[in-house]
Amino acid sequence: MIPIDVLLAFLAASVLITIAPGPDNLMVLSVGISRGRAAGIGFGLGCALGCFTHTLWATLGIGAVVLASEATFTTLKMAGAAYLVYIGIMAWRYAGKLGVIKLDDGSAEPLGAHLRRGFIANVINPKVALFFIAFLPQFVDQSRGPVWIQMLLLGALFAALTVVIFGSLGWFAGSIGARLQRQPGLAVWLDRCAAVIFVGLALHLATAR
């Protein structure tokens, strides 16, 4: 359905966009370094699932309708900013706890908890929704068949790329973090740096127009 030259151009652009420094990359790296490899991978996979959700919204036209309202855009961005602040507070509160947040029974948080955080942080970010609404249609041609099928396919490919790239970032960051946290006192500062990064990203999102 999609010509090979268009598909290759889309894949190249998607890879460049995904590896370029941005909020999602920064969050995955900070979580991986401060919380460990499993947390970084889980958070990255959550962000990737969020990207696929934005694809569905863009394909169905829901994203465009929602973001056409300034009030809705403001509500979404403030909710996203508040959630990032919450993650930052948790990182600061549990700074230095062996790289992971401990549950009441003393066990480490499961991978699903980090995946959920990454998913929520991505899916309630209206700037990501705007990106998909603007990006996917550039590679769609009505003469090739149903537009929604093309957008769904392209979005699925983009999400698959983010799984690989963000998963790799989480693994890499977690490997570095495991080494750094062996040094006494350093784990606390790693967590606090992660907390500052999340709060900074929250302020950036809250002031987005």
pLDDT tens profile 60-102:
887 777 667 788 788 888 888 888 888 888 778 766 664 444 4
Mean of all residue pLDDT scores within the chain: 82
Stated as kind and residue range, the H or E segment containing 8 is: helix 4-19
Residue 16 lies in a domain: no
Q: Residue 129: give the domain boundaries.
A: 22-206
Residue 2 lies in a domain: no
pLDDT tens profile 159-168:
999 999 999 9
Residue 11 lies in a domain: no
pLDDT along the chain (209 residues), means of 10: 87 89 85 84 92 87 74 82 85 62 49 88 87 87 84 91 92 80 68 81 80
Residue 9 lies in a domain: no
Q: What is the pLDDT of residue 182?
A: 67
Residues 6+ apart with CB under 8 A from 111: 38, 39, 41, 42
Backbone angles phi, psi at 108, to 5 degrees: -80, 155
Q: What is the pLDDT of residue 10?
A: 93
Residue 117 lies in a domain: yes
Residue 6 lies in a domain: no
Q: How many domains does the chain have?
A: 1
- Assign 3-class secondary structure to 66-91: HHCCHHHHHHHHHHHHHHHHHHHHHH
